[in-house]
Amino acid sequence: MADLAIKGGPKTVPDGAIQPWPWITEEDKRAVMDALERATPWRYPYEEITALEAEWAAFVGMKHALACNSGTASLHMCVAAAGVGPGDEVLVPAFTFLASASCVLHSNGIPIFVDIEPETCTIDPGKIEERITDRTKAIVAVDIHGVPCFYDEIHEIAARHGLYVIEDGAQAHGSVYKGRQVGALGHMAGCSLNGSKNLSALAEGGLFTTDDDRLAELAGRVRMFGEVVRPGERRQYNAYMMGWNYRTDPLQAAFARSQLRRLPEMTAARQRNCEHLTARIKDLPSIRVQQIPPDRTHSYFFYPFRVQPYKDGIDVPVWAFRDALAECLQAEGVPAQRWQPHLVPEQTLFQFRDAYGKGCPWSCPFARPGIVYDGAEYPEAQRLVEEALYIGHSTGGLGPPNDIQLMDLYADAFEKVLADHGDELLALAREKAQAAG
Ligand SMILES: Cc1ncc(COP(=O)(O)O)c(C=O)c1O
């Protein structure tokens, strides 16, 4: 039996075995070069941008798509189009990336957090209603890791309380919930095209979608200085409302269009890879792989797994076992690591509650007084933060051209660390716990 790599043994996954993301082909390069040929003179919108919008709208099955320069911008377009303003509250899962909540602050609204359902890690519909007040305007439903939320339940609650459902699909392009694509699961959706994402514009970008003409018009104003811009009409240079410059550029749009053509194929490859990995590691001791309901698919932006030594009666702090496992897997060449080390409501911004100075927007006279954020109110999200390790993002090797051969190497490394050298792993975890006192 080979020694652990962390103890000087051979590495299971050789250097150079992982192909990075995004996967760039000759076709992508040609698409960008062709757009560059047509890029001058400056004009807005470029044909590449309107074509991306039409193609994304058709792909997800929504009437309108608006391309913008980040996922965060697309979410802010949703929040602003929903009419969220000073003192309005928006429900957001306690476990997500910051932008799902900061998009609310961008409109002077107040994020109110909700715990997650532990298996899908998405907002728990059973805990939404207790957070609704007379100021609540919307729910941001985040398809975290690549898994769609419980949309039937969320829409039912939203309809009863007159709320907008805003889908944050930043991590889940290509996933499907009950036959509908991510990007079409809320009244509005925002998706990121950041370079780590399953669909990317190479570096940065975003896509807003809706079926509603009025919301699309409002989001379009937010994207462009608050102005109304209609195809074929002369620009008026008149701001009707507060707006930003969230426009994107044609080279990014060209890259995203080229990638979108391969999205179904790339999603299927991720699913094949991750399902193969799951089949090989699911019965190993002290970890638990994710199981999602059969009514939705997982597009595996991330492959999260939980570290649970307690389920095998091992009495060691979870964090110590988790960190020891991550170090051993990394030494073997598996890029397993933590993602968010804090819940969003535990981040400094929310603990100090000062976004714009002078405590705004929490100190605004329209805001409900006394809003504070206590991580202990979200026990399932806390447990996820403590237990989860991740493979994924731009160097995780989940997407093509990586294939199940790489997954087999990953699985071999998991077996080596967890099964063959379980005693040494536990000893490392105990050392960590002891060192921490
Ligand atoms: C869940 C989630 N929402 C929003 C965003 C924001 O997207 P962007 O980085 O494109 O602004 C991200 C991406 O980083 C994300 O993971």
Q: Where are the domains positioned within the chain?
A: 26-260
β pairing state of 110-114 and 136-142: unpaired
d(CA 372, CA 363): 12
C-alpha angle 210/211/212, rounded to 5°? 90
181-239 confidence digits (pLDDT tens): 999 999 999 999 999 999 999 999 999 999 999 999 999 999 999 999 888 889 999 99
97-156 confidence digits (pLDDT tens): 999 999 999 999 999 999 999 999 999 999 999 999 999 999 999 999 999 999 999 999
Instruction: For a ligand 1 pocket test, name from 68, 103, 143, 171 the mutation site with the most ligand atoms within 8 angstroms of its C-beta.
Output: 171
Ligand 1 atom with the smallest distance to the CA of 99 is 4
Position 230 scores a pLDDT of 84
Position 14 scores a pLDDT of 98
260-280 confidence digits (pLDDT tens): 999 999 999 999 999 999 999
pLDDT at residue 437 is higher than 90: no
Where would I find the H helices in 305-421?
Answer: 318-332, 348-352, 379-387, 404-414
Dist. CA 339 → ligand 1 center (Å): 13
31-84 confidence digits (pLDDT tens): 999 999 999 999 999 999 999 999 999 999 999 999 999 999 999 999 999 999
The rounded mean pLDDT for the chain is 98
Ligand 1 atom with the smallest distance to the CA of 168 is 3
Position 262 scores a pLDDT of 98
pLDDT at residue 286 is higher than 90: yes
Beta strands in 45-203 (DSSP E): 64-68, 89-93, 110-114, 136-142, 164-168, 176-177, 180-181, 188-192
Position 232 scores a pLDDT of 84
Dist. CA 98 → ligand 1 center (Å): 8
100 Cβ contact list (under 8 Å, min separation 6): 75, 92, 93, 140, 142, 168, 170, 344
Average pLDDT score over residue span 390-395: 96
Q: What residues flank ligand 1, with Cβ below 6 Å?
A: 70-72, 96-97, 99-100, 142, 168, 170-171, 192, 194, 206
State which fold the 26-260 domain adopts: Aspartate Aminotransferase; domain 2 (3.40.640)
On the 0-12 / 13-18 / 19+ scale of CB atoms within 10 A, 230 is exposed
Q: Which residues pair with 176 in a beta bridge?
A: 181
Amino acid identity, position 9: G
Average pLDDT score over residue span 382-397: 97
The residue nearest atom 4 of ligand 1, judged by CA position, is 99
The residue nearest atom 7 of ligand 1, judged by CA position, is 71
CB 238 within 8 A of CB 227: yes
CB 121 within 8 A of CB 145: yes
